[in-house]
């Protein structure tokens, strides 16, 4: 009877130990689960915080993108306005340059007319009288003066007809080269630049002509008016090299600066 009770007591103590061990395992497992749940809760909060930050940054990026597009639009508008203004300025500069060229040509023609008048007076004084007076000698001078007067009055066609007649009648007269030059000026004034070019080139058929340098200048101007800029540049450079002491050198340089 005593043996059986001890045996039972030992068995009961073993069972109690097993229950305590199992309980400890359960408590440890419960604690572990609680810790894991705590960690998961923290991670979830972190993830939620990151998502909120990403959303805020996306909103900022969207706002910056909108601002950038606005700035681009303003820049494009400003560039368009600037381009329009540049085109207007270029057009006005071109108009001013053309007007200055017209004024320069008028001044040039005025100087040439004064020089022609002086040359005509000199030629008239130098003419030697002869018993058998040549009709062409006296008429040439008078008709030459009349041609210049027609040119001054802008009767270019009539003036051209007079100079042509003079050249046909007496191509060896001492004012024949001047008549040839002014024939070219008549065509130039009428904007018949190809005809003017041909007549100016004929000035060089008169050896030692005092109109050679200015005829060379006008040849360059004819090419410029015809839009033949390489030819115009070539002829104006020829003036600078062939007549370096000419009074028309500065004018030729100004025209060269205007050629594209």
For 94, counting Cβ atoms within 10 Å of its Cβ (0-12 exposed, 13-18 middle, 19+ buried), the class is exposed
Contact by Cβ (8 Å): 251, 259: no
Confidence (pTM) = 0.53
Give residue 15's pLDDT band: very low, low, confident or very high (50, 70, 90).
Answer: low
For residues 148 and 110, give the distance between their C-alpha atoms in angstroms, rounded to a whole number: 11
Q: What is the pLDDT of residue 129?
A: 42
Q: What is the pLDDT of residue 246?
A: 97
The ranges assigned to domains in the chain are 1-95, 96-124+139-258
Mean pLDDT of 36-51: 65
pLDDT beyond 50 at 56: yes
For residues 179 and 185, give the distance between their C-alpha atoms in angstroms, rounded to a whole number: 10
Q: Which of 40-49, 142-151, 250-259 has the lowest mean pLDDT?
A: 40-49
Q: What is the pLDDT of residue 24?
A: 77
Q: What's domain 96-124+139-258's superfamily in CATH?
A: Tetratricopeptide repeat domain (1.25.40.10)
Q: What is the pLDDT of residue 214?
A: 98
pLDDT beyond 70 at 245: yes
Q: What is the pLDDT of residue 60?
A: 78
pLDDT beyond 50 at 46: yes
Contact by Cβ (8 Å): 224, 232: yes
For residues 53 and 51, give the distance between their C-alpha atoms in angstroms, rounded to a whole number: 5
More confident residue, 23 or 162: 162
Q: What is the pLDDT of residue 81?
A: 79
pLDDT digits (tens, 9 = 90+) for 17-34: 777 777 677 777 767 766
Q: In the predicted model, what is the mean pLDDT of the chain?
A: 80
pLDDT digits (tens, 9 = 90+) for 62-91: 887 787 788 677 777 767 777 887 787 777
For residues 191 and 185, give the distance between their C-alpha atoms in angstroms, rounded to a whole number: 10
More confident residue, 89 or 245: 245
């Amino acid at each position: 009877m005593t043996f059986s009770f001890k045996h039972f007591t030992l068995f009961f103590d073993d069972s109690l130990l097993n229950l305590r061990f199992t309980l400890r395992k359960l408590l440890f497992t419960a604690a572990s689960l609680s810790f894991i749940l705590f960690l998961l809760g923290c991670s979830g909060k972190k993830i939620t915080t990151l998502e909120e930050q990403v959303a805020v940054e996306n909103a900022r990026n969207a706002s910056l993108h909108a601002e950038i597009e606005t700035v681009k639009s303003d820049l494009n508008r400003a560039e368009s306005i600037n381009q329009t203004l540049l085109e207007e300025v270029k057009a006005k500069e071109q108009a001013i340059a053309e007007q200055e060229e017209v004024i320069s040509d008028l001044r040039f023609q005025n100087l040439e007319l004064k020089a022609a008048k002086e040359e005509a007076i000199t030629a008239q004084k130098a003419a030697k009288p002869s018993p058998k007076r040549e009709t062409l000698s006296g008429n040439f001078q008078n008709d030459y003066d009349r041609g210049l007067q027609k040119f001054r009055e802008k009767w270019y066609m009539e003036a051209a007809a007079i100079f042509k007649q003079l050249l046909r009648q007496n191509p060896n007269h001492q004012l024949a080269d001047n008549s040839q030059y002014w024939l070219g000026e008549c065509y130039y004034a009428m904007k018949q630049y190809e005809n003017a070019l041909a007549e100016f080139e004929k000035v060089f058929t008169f050896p030692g002509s005092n109109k050679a340098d200015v005829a060379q200048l006008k040849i360059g101007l004819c090419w410029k008016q015809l839009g033949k800029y390489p030819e115009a540049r070539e002829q104006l450079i020829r003036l600078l090299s062939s007549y370096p002491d000419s009074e028309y050198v500065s004018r030729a340089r100004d025209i060269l600066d205007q050629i594209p």
